[in-house]
Structure formats: structure tokens, C-alpha cells
Amino acid sequence: MPKTVVLVGALDTKGKEFEYVKGLLEKRGLTTLVVDFGVMGAPAFAPDVPRNEVAAAGGGDLARLSTGEHKDEAMQAMAEGLAVVVRKLHHDGKLDGIIGMGGTGGTSIATTAMRSLPVGVPKVMVSTVGGGDVSPFAGSKDITFMPSIVDVAGFNRISRRIYTNAAGAIAGMVEAELPAATGEKPLLAASMFGNTTVAVDHAREILEAKGYEVLVFHATGSGGRTMEELITDGYITALLDMTTTELADEVCGGVLSAGPDRCMAASKAGIPVLLVPGCVDMANFGRIATVPERYRSRLVYQWNPDVTLLRTNVEENRRIGELLAAAANAATGPVKFLFPLGGVSMLDSQGHEFWDPEADQACFDTIEANLRPDIPVIKMAENINDPAFSERAVETLLGMLG
């Protein structure tokens, strides 16, 4: 059965370009389905899902939006409506891949819809901003961006090549067959940072030897958000949250925050989770000159020329502890804490730059003071990177899995 590619765009301003890509896809034997989110002029050709349906799905009135006097409202309504439309198409088996083309406005609307689809669904965005920082558009989803090089406006020798490449890219993605998995293993997630690599690698090796597949996420803000989305989407069986450092960035205003709800996804999903205050001794900034003035008198460590680490203090660790306790208290499934009393990172070990037992203890004590009485806390004298700590972490998590 032919695969279906959904094309999303403004057919009033980009209609001819979408018609061209639609024709290329159909020549390859693919089915196409076009969704129009333009609001001003008439569409260049009749879409399968017209703009009024998109507007209605987003709670907007097309007649009002098309006056041109409510641009922000129109952008929001069409983005939200498009997300509703494409989710339904995917649910109904009418979307095997999605492609959009446009400038900043079209990119914003199209990628809002793309982000609402599960990881693994092919997503291609041809954009005038595709060569810049696309992280706000991508979020934590697997969107493939293709710089349009020239504006998505008309045809020339450059644009035709780009449109053809884009059609080939989405066609190749939807036609690619994933090899059939034999005896798929339970999927676990773990969080890691450079300062907990030894710990997480050892835990991963043990888990893999026991027949589990482990996804390791780098705790860089986007890594934590991606992990949490996969948990929410039901991919993950259990979580070894060894590196909750993104909460330190949230508290201190660092550059790697995953937001205040980091650690909440597993609690809401009800999957087994082992929480460790890993790397909560550090908040991340860029080059040393970028460290905020208020921290200039504090202990900082230049991890490399582009990364400067701030050592968190007692008060900041209390606030991190409150966030961790709140996440655990929200759990609807099994949850436990494991405390490394010998230090929460490689730098936070005796004799090293961030060794500060008082600050660590402030986090541990705050967690215990705010924790539901039924949630166990296990304390180990070792540093987080000690093999014995990883082994106890694995043993504890597997015990929760039953």
C-alpha cells in the first residue's frame, strides 16, 4: 500500500511550490494529502484539508483571522489547529511523513504541528531559517531542517533543486523499512553528564548484560526534555535518573535547564524511577566571560573553553532538593532515592574542585524533609562514580521492576 506524505503550508503564498513538490512525490508512487494553513489570499489549488477546518480546529474564526488585523491570533490559531489536524491524520493511519516549506511564520506553524507527532515519524521542514539556530522550532523532536537558500517564492535553478531534494528526502524517509526486531528488549532510560559518565556507563553495561536496552540522554536541557517526552509518549519502561543536574541550571539560571518540570514525566507516567541528585553541584554557563556578574565571586570551574561550571551553594541545593522531592511526591508508580554521600559528581569528590559536603547535605536533607513518608531513601558512602554505587542503583531499579 502506498505511503502517505502530508504537505502542510500556506497555499495562498506558497501554493505553486507545494504543487510542484506534490507532483514529485506522486511521480514516485506516493499518496499525498495537502493541508492549507494560509489565511489571506485564495489557495493556488484545492487542498485536501482546507484552511477553515484548520482554523476551526484551533478555535479560530477564519473570517476574523483573514482580515489581516489579528496576525498573532491567526498564527496561534492556525498552529494549534494544524497540530490537531495532523495528530488525527496520524492516528487514523493517513500520515506516514510530513513536509512543510516556508519563512519564519510558516516554519513556526508547520513545526508546531510536527512537534505534536511522535518521535520516528518522518518530518522535513524547508525553511528560510533552516541554516540558523532552529532549536526553538525543533524543540525535542526529530525534525529534519533543510535551508531553502533562497526564499520559498517562485522557481529558479536553486529553488527547484532544493524542492526536489526535499521531496526526495521525505520520500526516502517514508519508504525506508525498519528491519523487523527480534525479541525486543524492555526499554530503559538513563540520564548522564560528563561528570557522571563513569557511573552511567557502568550501570548501562550491567543492564544490557541482563537483557535490557538502555537509552542514555545527555542532561543538556534538550536531552532532558527529549527523555521526558519519550516517557510521556509511553516508550520507556523504567528510568534511572542518575543526573538531575538540569534542575541546578533551572535554579541558578544556567544555560542547560530543562524547565521546572524536569523529573515529573516519570512520576506522571507511573513507571518505576530511581532518582539520584547527580551533578546538582554544578550549573552550566558558556565561556567564562558569560558567567553572570552575581556569580563572579563564587567558585567556578572552566570545564573547557566553552563551558564554565558554577558550584552550587547551600541555599541553591535546598531549592534543588525541594524540586526533586516535589517530583517524587507526584509519583503514581514506584519511586526511590539513592544518595551518594561521597559526592554527587566527579568534581564533587574528596580533594577535587567542587567537594563541599555541606552543600550536598543541604540537598539531601531538604529532599528527606519534604518527601512522602512512603518513599524510600537509600544512602551510600561512596561517590556517585564508584562502581558499587552504580551496582546498587541497578539492583534497586530492577527490584522496582519486579
Following DSSP, what letter does each residue of 164-202 receive, concatenated? HHHHHHHHHHHHPPPPPPSSPPPEEEEEE-GGGHHHHHH
**Burial (CB count within 10 angstroms: exposed 0-12, middle 13-18, buried 19+), residue 161:** exposed
Hey, where are the domains in the chain?
Answer: 4-175, 187-401
What are the phi and psi torsion angles at 205 (to 5°)?
Answer: -60, -40
Kindly report the pTM of this predicted structure: 0.80
**What's at 13, amino acid-wise?**
T
DSSP code string of 311-323: EP-HHHHHHHHHH
- 281 in Cβ contact with 254 (< 8 Å): no
Is the distance from CB of 355 to CB of 341 less than 8 angstroms?
no
Write down the H helix ranges in 211-346.
222-232, 246-252, 264-269, 314-329
Question: Rounded to 5 degrees, what are φ and ψ at 230?
Answer: -65, -35
Superfamily of domain 187-401: Uncharacterised protein family UPF0261, NC domain (3.40.50.12030)
Q: Read off the DSSP letter of residue 255.
A: T
b/e code 218-243 from CB counts within 10 Å (16+ = b): bbbbbbbbbbbbbbeeeebbbbbbbb
Return mean pLDDT, the chain: 96
| pLDDT at residue number 264 | 97
Helix (H, G, I), strand (E, B) or coil at 88: helix
Give the whole-angstrom CA distance, residue 204 versus residue 185. 14
Q: Are 4-175 and 187-401 the same fold in CATH?
A: yes
State how far the alpha carbon of 402 is from the alpha carbons of 17, 64, 67, 238, 356, in Å: 55, 57, 60, 11, 36
Q: According to the model, what pLDDT value does residue 385 have? A: 98
Residue ranges in the chain whose pLDDT is less than 70: 181-183
Other Cβ atoms within 10 Å of 140 Cβ, number? 20
State residue 103's pLDDT score: 95
What is the pLDDT, as a whole number, of residue 183? 66
What fold does the segment set 4-175 form as a domain?
A: Rossmann fold (3.40.50)
Q: According to the model, what pLDDT value does residue 176 have?
A: 96
Tell me the residue length of the chain: 402
> For residue 206, what pLDDT is reported?
98
pLDDT in tens, 333-380: 999 999 999 999 999 999 999 999 999 999 999 999 999 999 999 999
pLDDT for the residue numbered 68:
83
